[in-house]
Homo-oligomer: A and B are copies of this chain.
Amino acid sequence: MTNAPGPNAVDRLATLLAEDLAAVDALIHRHMSSPVGVIPNLAAHLIDAGGKRIRPLITLAAARLLGGGGDGPRKLAAAVEFIHSATLLHDDVVDISAMRRGKRSANLIWGNSASVLVGDFLFARSFNLMVETGDIMVLDILARAASVIAEGEVMQLAAANDADTSRARYMEIVAAKTAALFAAAARAGAVAAGRPGQEAIALETFGRELGLAFQLVDDALDYGGLAATMGKNTGDDFKEGKVTLPVVFARDAGDEAERAFWRRVVSGERGEEDFVRALALLRRHNAIALTLDAARAHANAARQALSQLPANAYREALSDLADFVVERAH
């Protein structure tokens, strides 16, 4: 176990895995190429926009932690990033997003149709990469994750504008749409390192718990983090009528008038004034802190899962990552 997470755990992980990561980026660019110009252009717009590559870093670190390296984990890491990218492109169509990674989103520039089809292309290419490893076990892990992610996205769509979404239901959605890929990314790294047994299960648990923490912190940040104030990156979930964990906490602790407020803004009309009131209610009920407590518990479980694995620089870096995921909201 380590402490002193610091704000740069992702950067330090990227430095530790610099050679692997450069190879992964080369694989990504090679496999997103196509004579059909829209494809590399649209894909590069998203993939080169400065995503943090957290998921592929987890795959690479999981493999290295167990003594694995070389082409297999790199191809899987690239495949994981492609699955993630395809999901983002389709998410932006579903959510009618206008911004992604600080840039205009691809659907706004190239249209929804191109985003759907290029997402399909990247998804297919992720399987081409997995096939190149020749490892049916990792294909199984990532293909299962892909269908669970799609299930999670449909669950989220069905729950949209449903003000009564329970905490359990919400966590089920998060487990599917976000944590499943983190879990598969970590497990695939272990399997690619030739360690499909207990160590793969431990790393899968690490990934799942990290993914849960990651999403809950994102939910908190979408309401401005602990300060719960408006900022340029806040309010997307509110605008879309999504019930996330902060809303669950505030709603369940609120009185009848407050619950009526949440019902109205989640399922019906909502304006800027409503967002200001929502922030006030989140503060009143300590909902952001409670959400971050839940995230912290998952991050701790993630670190705990690492304890049975070999102690080395990769394990330390993953442990730091679990801390960092929560710290970034403070």
Contacts and interface: CB of A to CB of B under 8 A. Distances in A.
Contact of A139 (B112, B127, B157): B127
Given A36-B158, A136-B134, A121 B147 contact: yes
A90 interface: yes
Contacts of A35: 151
Given A128-B147, A150-B120, A113 B94 contact: yes
Given A112-B93, A117-B150, A36 B155 contact: yes
Interface in A6-58: 34-39
Contacts of A119: 120
A154 B39 contact: yes
Contact of A127 (B38, B94, B143, B149): B143
A154 B93 contact: no
A131 B143 CA distance: 8
A153 interface: yes
Interface string A98-131: 0000000000000011101111110111011011
A144 interface: yes
A140 interface: yes
Can you tell how many copies of this chain the complex includes?
A: 2
Contacts of A120: 86, 90, 119, 123, 146, 149-150, 153
Contact of A157 (B94, B114, B127, B134): B114
Contacts of A131: 136, 139-140, 143
A131 to B, nearest CB: 5
B125 A157 contact: no
Contact of A151 (B121, B127, B134): B121
| Residue from A112, A123, A154, A157 whose CB has the most chain B CB atoms within 10 Å | A154
A117 B39 contact: no
A144 B112 CA distance: 24
Given A121-B150, A153-B120, A158-B36, A113 B128 contact: no
A112 B150 CA distance: 14
A56 to B, nearest CB: 19
Interface string A197-221: 0000000000000000000000000
Interface string A61-99: 000000000000000000000000010001001100000
Given A94-B117, A121-B147, A147-B121, A38 B128 contact: no
Given A136-B131, A139-B127, A117 B154 contact: yes
30 contacts: A35-B151, A38-B154, A38-B158, A90-B116, A90-B117, A90-B120, A94-B116, A112-B112, A117-B153, A118-B150, A119-B120, A120-B146, A120-B149, A120-B153, A121-B147, A121-B151, A121-B154, A123-B146, A124-B143, A124-B147, A124-B149, A127-B127, A127-B139, A127-B146, A128-B143, A128-B147, A131-B136, A131-B139, A134-B136, A139-B139
